[in-house]
């Protein structure tokens, strides 16, 4: 397939190609320059070359970019080095999908790695700053930005130190969130902080670098410790004046977690090195009473209002990007702030994307409803199980009567105490609004 086929064999299939074919495909870059820069490496004495770096296209619905990174251990045939720079992996893509794409003036990509978050930010940000502690990561990110003709400010340093006393409209961060003993085997994943302190550090400090109303989007991990609620743990990380939405996507068993990350670095868990590292890792978890490791997305917003903090599980499969949902979640928090003083006087409507499922069970008198479950068909696909009274209440939410009037009608029809139903209706309505399963009309 000519030069295109050569590039595919080199950089996508990781095959050796004749030096002359590589020269034709890479022209005007000469093979000697490519070898000196590390883009190619010798494949032996027969005049063939192999890819020395991972170079591949990455795109979105608007187009594509070139992304430069290090070869993974399977491609290179050797374990990753300490300053290894990851390609565009599952974690990077999940953060891309979990980040709001609404237009902003300034974006900070904290811990840019290969620069993929900054690439996506270029679609909606006027100015981008990218930082990293790794000089190698910054070199590859710079090359990526130059390949794509992007002007990105690059700064080197730990955590937020390179941007001290600055503020941004949006901060996106894929930190070294792997939890374990305080050591650094690989810069891209290990922070040198113990346990989940790296995630805690970012959550605590990030809001201080946001403009008023600015948002932060990051991946994070947290420990599930015996006798502790994970929501209390992560909620305690937030500084004052910060809205926080913690979405837990998975909880890993400690032993499986350790094995996964050892293999990620090209270390066989059954090898002497693997067994030694696994033992130290698992001993650390045992000392901390760790029962599991949670992983998920965090959305933050700087606010001068009374903060809203929600920690919840979202372990079901879904296809829609979470970034749109995160932005909408913040919008709904604002709506609740506006109407929260009088939710009973607020008019609600159940959206057309929400449906009620009933599961009937056989009884001596015939079929009886065993489960009533509210489904949202778009976004993350939230579900809520309802009782009979709540089901009847939501049936009246068609954008006409205020919630308080509906509660009074419901109480009269079912012989219930109106005040009791009013007290119960407000928190239910609040949660359904946050999940986009009840809309505020006026």
Q: Assign residue 387 the CATH number of its domain.
A: 1.10.10
For residues 176 and 86, membership in a common domain is answered with: yes
Query: What is residue 358's DSSP assignment?
Result: E
For residues 259 and 381, membership in a common domain is answered with: no
Torsion on CA atoms 327, 328, 333, 335, rounded to nearest 10 = 130
Q: What total of structural domains would you count in the chain?
A: 3
Residue with tokens 């809001």: 207
CATH code assigned at 106:
3.40.50.150
Strands (E), 111-241: 125-132, 153-156, 168-173, 210-225
Q: Peptide bond before 28: cis, by omega within 30 degrees of 0?
A: yes
Q: Answer yes or no: are the C-beta atoms of 96 and 297 closer than 8 Å.
A: no
Q: Answer yes or no: are the C-beta atoms of 265 and 184 closer than 8 Å.
A: no
Angle, CA of 170, 171 and 175, to the nearest 5°: 160
For residues 132 and 244, membership in a common domain is answered with: yes
Q: Which domain holds residue 386?
A: 340-440
Of 333, 365, 380, the position where a domain reaches its end is: 333
Residue with tokens 């489960």: 371
Which two structure tokens, joined as six digits, stand for 298?
A: 């965090």
For residues 315 and 348, membership in a common domain is answered with: no
Please tell me the predicted confidence (pLDDT) of residue 80.
73
For residues 276 and 359, membership in a common domain is answered with: no
Q: Answer yes or no: are the C-beta atoms of 211 and 168 closer than 8 Å.
A: yes
Phi and psi for 220 in degrees, rounded to 5?
A: -155, 155
For residues 305 and 389, membership in a common domain is answered with: no
Consecutive H or E run containing 264: helix 254-264
For residues 211 and 170, membership in a common domain is answered with: yes
Please tell me the predicted confidence (pLDDT) of residue 273.
87
Which two structure tokens, joined as six digits, stand for 141?
A: 């990110």
Which two structure tokens, joined as six digits, stand for 179?
A: 């939890």
Q: Answer yes or no: are the C-beta atoms of 108 and 170 closer than 8 Å.
A: yes
Of 299, 333, 367, the position where a domain reaches its end is: 333
Q: How many CA atoms lie within 13 A of 439 on its CB side?
A: 12
Please tell me the predicted confidence (pLDDT) of residue 370.
93
Of 285, 304, 333, the position where a domain reaches its end is: 333
Q: How far apart are CA 118 and CA 124, in angstroms?
A: 10
Q: How far apart are CA 242 and CA 302, in angstroms?
A: 5
Instruction: Say whether 419 sits in a helix, a strand or coil.
Output: helix
Instruction: Say whether 182 sits in a helix, a strand or coil.
Output: coil
For residues 236 and 256, membership in a common domain is answered with: yes
Please tell me the predicted confidence (pLDDT) of residue 31.
87
Q: Answer yes or no: are the C-beta atoms of 134 and 111 closer than 8 Å.
A: no
For residues 91 and 155, membership in a common domain is answered with: yes
Please tell me the predicted confidence (pLDDT) of residue 183.
81
Find the radius of gyration of the CA atoms of the chain: 26
For residues 85 and 22, membership in a common domain is answered with: no
For residues 112 and 177, membership in a common domain is answered with: yes
DSSP string, 281-321: HHHHHHHTTEEEEEEEEEEEEE-SS---EEEEE--S---S-
Q: How far apart are CA 346 and CA 348, in angstroms?
A: 6
Ranges of residues in the chain with a pLDDT under 70 are: 320
Question: What's the pTM?
Answer: 0.90
Please tell me the predicted confidence (pLDDT) of residue 72.
83
For residues 260 and 392, membership in a common domain is answered with: no
Please tell me the predicted confidence (pLDDT) of residue 320.
67
Please tell me the predicted confidence (pLDDT) of residue 4.
94
Q: How far apart are CA 172 and CA 114, in angstroms?
A: 14
């Amino acid at each position: 397939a000519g030069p295109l086929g050569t590039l595919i064999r080199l950089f996508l299939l990781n095959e050796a190609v004749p030096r002359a074919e590589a020269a034709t495909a890479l022209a005007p870059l000469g093979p000697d320059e490519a070898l000196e820069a590390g883009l190619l490496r010798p494949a032996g004495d027969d005049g063939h070359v192999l890819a020395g770096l991972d170079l591949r296209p990455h795109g979105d619905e608007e187009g594509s970019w070139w992304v430069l990174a290090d070869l993974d251990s399977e491609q290179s045939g050797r374990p990753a080095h300490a300053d290894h720079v990851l390609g565009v992996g599952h974690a990077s893509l999940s953060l891309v999908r979990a980040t709001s794409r609404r237009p902003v003036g300034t974006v900070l990509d904290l811990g840019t790695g290969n620069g993929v978050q900054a690439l996506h930010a270029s679609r909606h940000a006027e100015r981008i700053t990218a930082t990293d502690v790794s000089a190698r990561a910054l070199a590859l990110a710079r090359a990526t930005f130059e390949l794509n003709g992007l002007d990105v400010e690059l700064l080197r340093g730990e955590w937020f130190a390179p941007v001290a006393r600055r503020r941004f409209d949006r901060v996106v961060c894929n930190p070294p969130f792997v939890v374990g003993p305080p050591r650094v085997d690989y810069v891209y994943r290990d922070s040198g902080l113990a346990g989940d302190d790296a995630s805690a550090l970012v959550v605590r400090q990030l809001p201080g670098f946001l403009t008023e109303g600015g948002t932060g989007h990051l991946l994070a991990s947290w420990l599930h410790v015996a006798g502790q609620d994970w929501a209390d743990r992560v909620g305690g990380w937030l500084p004052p004046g910060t809205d926080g939405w913690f979405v837990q996507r998975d909880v890993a068993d400690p032993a499986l977690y350790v094995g996964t990350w050892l293999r990620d670095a090209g270390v066989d868990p059954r090898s002497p090195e693997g067994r030694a590292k696994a033992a130290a890792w698992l001993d650390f978890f045992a000392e901390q009473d760790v029962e599991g490791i949670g992983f998920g997305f965090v959305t933050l917003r700087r606010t001068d209002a009374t903060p809203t903090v929600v920690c919840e599980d979202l372990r079901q499969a879904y296809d829609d990007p979470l970034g749109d949902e995160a932005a909408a979640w913040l919008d709904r928090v604002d709506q609740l702030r506006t109407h929260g003083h009088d939710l009973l006087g607020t008019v609600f409507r159940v959206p057309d994307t929400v449906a009620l499922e009933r599961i009937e069970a056989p009884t001596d008198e015939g079929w009886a409803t065993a489960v009533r479950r509210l489904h949202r068909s778009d976004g993350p696909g939230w579900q809520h199980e309802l009782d009979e009274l709540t089901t009847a209440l939501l049936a009246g939410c068609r954008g006409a009567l205020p919630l308080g009037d509906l509660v009074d009608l419901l109480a009269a029809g079912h012989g219930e105490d109106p005040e009791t139903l009013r007290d119960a209706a407000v928190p239910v309505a609040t949660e359904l609004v946050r999940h986009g399963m009840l809309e505020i009309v006026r």
